[in-house]
Amino acid sequence: MAEHGRASETITSLEAVFAPVHSQTAFEETVERLGTAIKLGLLVPGTRLPAERELCAMLGIARSTLRQALVALGQSGHLHATRGRGGGTFVSDPLPPAPPPSPEVLAGWRGVCDGRMTVEVGIAVLAAERCRPAMADLLEEMVVAIDDTLDDFPAYRQIDVRFHVGLAELTGSPRLVKLMTETQGAMSNLIHHIAHPPEVLDSANGQHRRLLAAVRRHDEAAAAREMTEHLRGTEYILNALLPGG
């Protein structure tokens, strides 16, 4: 009976892993679902994932979204693909152990993300209300520049921070600029613990574009929504790739 119980729990868990994705951040949520299942041992090394067509139907996502997620997890070392007879996408052997984040980081990362959500969504709303075209043009230049740094995370992150601080500057509030700077510092302490596949960075910059478009047209509700989706996407990636998270 005990063995049957464990098997039932595994089946139920895998059904949850492959349940339809409803989030607007479908790419990040797919990475989170598969990465977390691998981390928890629900998908053990050597497991072959369902075929792309089947997996797309199970998750309710486009094939392009699935392929982006599989590429990202391949670049982070969680999956590998083989060709020919018997080929497919497989869960990789466990990654070589890396210096783990401190217990404090693992215990507090969600709290950091909660604080970020509180600060940055409010800033997005005020930025949309108070946006000045000249400042928005500078942010647009940053978004374009980020496209050339997808394979160079330190360079990407430098511009990424400037973009978020620039949003705070649009509010005209020195206090909010200070809060944004502190928030970005706290996030940097988290995200240096994870891999940074270009597919993930490209998706995040697409969110920057949509956020800036909402800010430009003074659409406060859309700016709040786009910022929320952007931050949730980061949380999904952290949950998937943070060692021991």
Which CATH code is given to the segment(s) 103-241? 1.20.120.530
- CATH architecture of the region 2-91: Orthogonal Bundle (1.10)
- pLDDT, tens digit, 9 for 90 and up, residues 207-217: 999 999 999 99
- Distance of CA 76 to CAs 32, 96, 197, 241, Å? 12, 12, 6, 8
- pLDDT, tens digit, 9 for 90 and up, residues 29-61: 899 889 888 877 778 899 999 999 999 999 999
Distance between CA atoms of residues 198 and 113, nearest Å: 22
Asked if the model's pLDDT at residue 4 lies above 80, the reply is: no
> Domain map of the chain by residue range?
2-91, 103-241
How much is the pLDDT for 11? 45
The model scores a pTM over 0.85: no
Q: Which residues contact 239 (CB under 8 A, 6 or more apart)?
A: 32, 35, 36, 245
